[in-house]
Structures are given as structure tokens and as C-alpha cells.
Amino acid sequence: SDPALVERARAAKAALGDSVFVLGHHYQRDEVIQFADVTGDSFKLAQKAAARPEAPYIVFCGVHFMAESADILTAPHQKVILPDLGAGCSMADMATFDQVEECWDVLEDAGVADDVVPVTYMNSSADIKGFVGRHGGVVCTSSNAKRALDWAYSKGKKVLFLPDQHLGRNTAVLEMGFSLDDCVVYSPHRREGGLTHEQLRDARMILWRGHCSVHGRFTKESVDEVRARVPGVNVLVHPECRHEVVTAADQIGSTEYIIKAIEAADPGTSWAVGTELNLVRRLANAHPDKNVMFLDKTVCYCSTMNRIDLPHLVWSLESLVRGEVENVITVDEDTARNARAALDQMLALP
Ligand code: 13P
Ligand code: SF4
């Protein structure tokens, strides 16, 4: 990255001192992550958002839904800044508030809504988290989905899982002993979600038809191909991957899990990692004694995570030095109260 920009970021951060707290998700670019005070997966970043209550500014190097959650979880005087407002998430966009309200009406018409506990993946808008909180549900991330579902099934007979069908299905089937037939997929663009009332009554897990466009690219063929090419390779994938990919893999976990697994691996071992490319590259560079490779040959950055680049970070920090607070992410208090209930429930999971 441009040394002049690196120097400007360093100078601005030094000038701001303890008044700024920079959080960085593991999918961020190297040029950005080097300036993070804390790096983490979605869960760790939600936990750490409130770790510096004395800092008036939190610069969130990640995507919009994470910055919203940070705003909900931090003190009212703290401002959360997203260096590029275009850093959204295509998966989060797959469930809008109106669609989810409509889905709930369908569940009511089918006579099952009273049995349903809604669970939303962190990767959803604050509106959706608010909806889930209002209906007594919980947020989960890829590192605690099983615990969140165990909790939800202690409260009700069925779960509506938003918006990532893969995380919901993979957790239910691979970690909770559900069959594929226990799961149905609700399609927001089809009438009544494309499901009959009977299907909704029989299902234990109602999955929203959403997915991650990055992890959705990995296929069973990528796993077969790497196993044929690299003898003894360990295949390690994120649970946002499709069910047949996760089933064919050796290990499954969140980004934080993936990092720990590679750190703990023996020298000389081979690892094909199915997650975002910035992270896999960084892991490969950090562990030259291990053979760490990307699971698929097609390049797989998350384009929205990548929108936070060094020029945007420098702009955010230098604006703060000038006393200008740009790109503040705020969640209205009504939504925030309900969303906080669902987030707090997640943070309190055993
Ligand atoms: P985790 O941070 O929970 O591993 O999730 C990955 C992701 O897709 C974030 O958008
Ligand atoms: Fe969204 Fe997937 Fe990018 Fe994560 S990796 S921010 S789920 S599009």
C-alpha cells in the first residue's frame, strides 16, 4: 500500500490517541487491518465494541450490519463510523423488514407462529434484529449458532432462521441431529414463501432463502479437486458454505476458529481454506511453515468488505482530527431497544 497513506493513517491515529477505537473484521484488507486496535470475527467484535467506553469515536472496519450492532451495544455518547457507507452485505440485504413481517403473517395464517422462535444471524439489518428481539428471539453468529439454537428450542418448537439458509441448515443437521427433511426454505419472493401450511406445520426449522455470495462460490467439486491434487490436505470451511461443501470438509468454523486451527496446525501440514481471500492470504503469509491455500481457484474477495480501503480509513481518521465526524451509523432508539434484547440474549448464551 502507498507509504504516504500509511504514514497519514499513523499520524492521524496518533493525534487522536485514546479518543478513537478502531475495530477490524478478519476479512478486511491488510492495509486496513494493520490499524485495528482489535481484530475479530463478528462475535468477538460485538463483544469488544463496548470495551472502550471512554472513546467517543469507534471506527468500524467491517460492514454496515456490524457497525449498526456496535452502535446498539455501545454507550449513547459514542459514535460509530463506517469509513465507506457502501460497505453493505448482500446476504443481509436478502431479508428486508417488510418481507420478514410478511413471513410472520404467513406463519400466523398457518397457525404456527406461537410455536416459532426467530433467530437471526448477525449478518442482518438492525431492523431484523429488532423484529427478532420483539418476538422473543436471539441473534447468533457463526461461532455460537448451535448454542443460540439450543436456547431457541428450549423456548419453542420451531425456529425461523434468518437470513442465511446455509448456516441454519448446517448447524441443525450437522450439530443438532436434524434431518434435511426437518428443514424447509421460505422464499420471500414467492407467494406464502412457496410453502404449504402443512409443510410449515411439519417443519422444525424454517430457513430463510438467503446466502453469502462469497461462500456460495465454493462447491463440492472444489473439495474433490483439492483432495485429488494435495495428498493429506485438511479442508477447513466457514459454515456459510453450502451443505454439500461443509459435509465434504474436515473442519467447519467461524473466521476466529479458522485462524486458531491454522495456528495450532503442525508444520508441514496442508490446509485448503474455504473462506474470504484476504483472510486466507494473511494466514498463508503468517504460516510459511504450513501449506495454507485457498479452497477454490476463483478469486473470492468480499467486495463490500473490500470497500474499506486505506484511502477511506485515512479520510475517516483525518476528518476526526479536524473535528468533522463523517459516516456515523445510528440506529433509532425504538429499533435499538428491541435489537439490543436479541443481541444481549446472544451475549448471555452459556
Ligand atoms: P464470522 O465473522 O462470524 O466468521 O462471519 C463471517 C462473515 O461472513 C462476516 O460477514
Ligand atoms: Fe456478507 Fe458474505 Fe461479505 Fe460476510 S462475506 S459481509 S456474509 S457478503
Q: What is the ipTM of this complex?
A: 0.97
DSSP element (H, E) containing 8: helix 3-16
Ligand closest to CA 277: 2
pLDDT of residue 319: 98
Instruction: Write down the residue that cell numbers 483472510 correspond to.
Output: 279
Instruction: Write down the residue that cell numbers 503442525 correspond to.
Output: 266
pLDDT of residue 272: 98
pLDDT of residue 223: 97
pLDDT of residue 44: 93
Equal CATH topology for 3-88+305-333 and 215-294: yes
pLDDT of residue 82: 98
pTM: 0.96
CATH superfamily of 92-211: NadA-like (3.40.50.10800)
The contacts of residue 252 (CB under 8 Å, 6+ apart) are 170, 174, 236, 237, 238, 239, 246
Q: Which of 121, 212, 240 to mutate to test the pocket of ligand 2 (most atoms within 8 A of CB)?
A: 212
Whether 255 lines ligand 1, by a CB cut-off of 6 Å, is: yes
Domain residue ranges of the chain, discontinuous segments joined by +: 3-88+305-333, 92-211, 215-294
Report the distance separating Cα 15 and Cα 169, nearest Å: 47
pLDDT of residue 170: 98
Per-residue pLDDT of the chain (350 residues; tens, 9 = 90+): 899 999 999 999 999 999 999 999 999 999 999 999 999 999 899 889 999 999 999 999 999 999 999 999 999 999 999 999 999 999 999 999 999 999 999 999 999 999 999 999 999 999 999 999 999 999 999 999 999 999 999 999 999 999 999 999 999 999 999 999 999 999 999 999 999 999 999 999 999 999 999 999 999 999 999 999 999 999 999 999 999 999 999 999 999 999 999 999 999 999 999 999 999 999 999 999 999 999 998 878 999 999 999 999 999 999 999 999 999 999 999 999 999 999 999 999 98
Residue nearest to atom 3 of ligand 2 (CA): 302
At 21, which amino acid appears? F
C-alpha cell at 106: 404467513
Whether 124 lines ligand 1, by a CB cut-off of 6 Å, is: no
CATH level 2 (architecture), domain 215-294:
3-Layer(aba) Sandwich (3.40)
Whether 142 lines ligand 1, by a CB cut-off of 6 Å, is: yes
pLDDT of residue 344: 95
CA of residue 89 to ligand 2 center, whole Å? 5
At 337, which amino acid appears? R
* Under 8 Å between Cβ of 69 and 89: no
Report the distance separating Cα 103 and Cα 94, nearest Å: 13
Distance spanning both ends of the chain, measured CA to CA: 42
Whether 338 lines ligand 1, by a CB cut-off of 6 Å, is: no
DSSP element (H, E) containing 138: strand 138-140
Report the distance separating Cα 200 and Cα 119, nearest Å: 16
SS (H, E, C) 260-326: HHHHHCCCCCEEEEECCHHHHHHHHHHCCCCEEEECCCCCCCCCCHHHCCHHHHHHHHHHHHCCCCC
- Looking at domain 3-88+305-333, does it have CATH number 3.40.50.10800? yes
For helices 3-16 and 310-321, angle between their N-to-C axes, nearest 10 degrees:
30
C-alpha cell at 158: 420451531
